[in-house]
Structure 1
């Protein structure tokens, strides 16, 4: 089954074609990032994001089909991100997907953005087998999930306030770094002295798998103000704070992942989402999993952030079981908990078109 995937949940327009046939796999993908446009405003402007998706989406579809050496009529289905995300941006992808599917008389399905991230490592040659523990860590989400199979997810823990990605972005603003902040904090942290400051590792001194980064953010702000008052907020001081902050976030996530593996008894860890590209996080998780003789799996760098390939993959796996949207009923769900998903009904369709 050859499925076109469309991702328009926020500030990146992603399109891909995935083929479920033996020897198929990912046939082509393309991504357009709006980062340069939003950088002027220091963050994503929803209306501008929606307009840019409208301009870029169809040209990207044509580009991907050409790269895959396919015509529209050779598609067997279309998948799009139905949520969570910015409602206007989601509507652009949903309307385009439903319009194309109606014209081609093929099934269409809205899929969960975070399920796409969760299963992005399945696009790699060394894909993880079920079951596994997944750490989903992105701008808006920090979650630990026990994954038994497609759609069989049990939430183990999540952030009770700021997600890790949000904490990185807010820290970047405190340090007067450009948007998007996360990569800039990580880059600056490479120059920092790991021994100068030690920030708290939130919620690691108590049982459980939930996260909290709001207090760490406040601690970081206090440290910045103290340096500023002392006239020591130099480039060196800012780098040292960035390093202390990154070390605290990384250590916290490594500790929680170790606990999740121990609590579940599972021997595979999947790490996905934008923050999964962080080099220090990968180093820490590699070491922790090696000590437990557990495997750890990541998507390639360009599939850590939002992309069409992950949507095409999840959509293809669900469409081939018979799942599809009801004709004319587009989905755009800005808030959509991952635990509301269910396993596909392999005995038949879950929603008739």
Structure 2
């Protein structure tokens, strides 16, 4: 075996791991990123052409994190010369009190949106049909996920990091408060810290090492629908469906979506896919869920052809509260449970993980392994 001495090993080359290695390298750490699969793989949760960016959350901790992330996305764009974040504005609509709480939260945070009449919204974005109240927030848009991963890793290498793909980690052994051993094939890495951002594989790597909350791994099944017109603008959107509507229609959850140039209009239910083992996925859409999603598109997305679509397959790793885990136990830094809404925060999470690894500074208590109950 070949022995390597480094400051930090990052395990997992998705969005969170890639952002961590970028921030760590930028702060002068001797850091290596180990990714199990090839560059550009589609087995996890960070691939594809688009993700929603928004600061419109009810919880102040997420609003703060999103605002930090926006600045860091712009920093990454400036450093890499790659366009990653396009602000299109975002629409939330539905018959739920959550919209009022959302509007109050973003106004309190100094980033107010505006209420629109459904008729006004339909005039601005005719591809959507609107349900109940409509809340528009301008600081929302679209991230290019594949481009983000490439830019993060390229900038990390420029800053001195080592990035290794097709390098599965087989064991992590704690040797002390400031000593950890990471084995990957014939290579053994001795480090002060290891950052584990392994997505759906978190439990397989960390089980027995840290007290993870229950993590539910699902194979999610959004789709790209073909727009009927190319000259129609699309905001990012979230349709909040109340229990009565869900029961009456058979829809599975609220729906999110956004226009994705070159792909179509992405739409999907949130966290409703079948539970899977990440090493035994079939990548095939569940027929009943796909049929229901197409029925949703036929009813609520008049700007698309519900019969012209391309299914997408990705994983969610969801905690019981849908909050992230960002914490440290001894030399192990944990990034897990991003619950289908984490990608927008990627560069800010990278900063938090670098803090945890280098100084031990912890983020908001809601992200702790032993977070207090609500």
The answer to whether the superposition gives a TM-score over 0.5 is no
Decide which structure has greater strand share: 2
Question: TM-score w.r.t. structure 1 length?
Answer: 0.27
Question: What TM-score comes out, normalization by structure 2 length?
Answer: 0.26
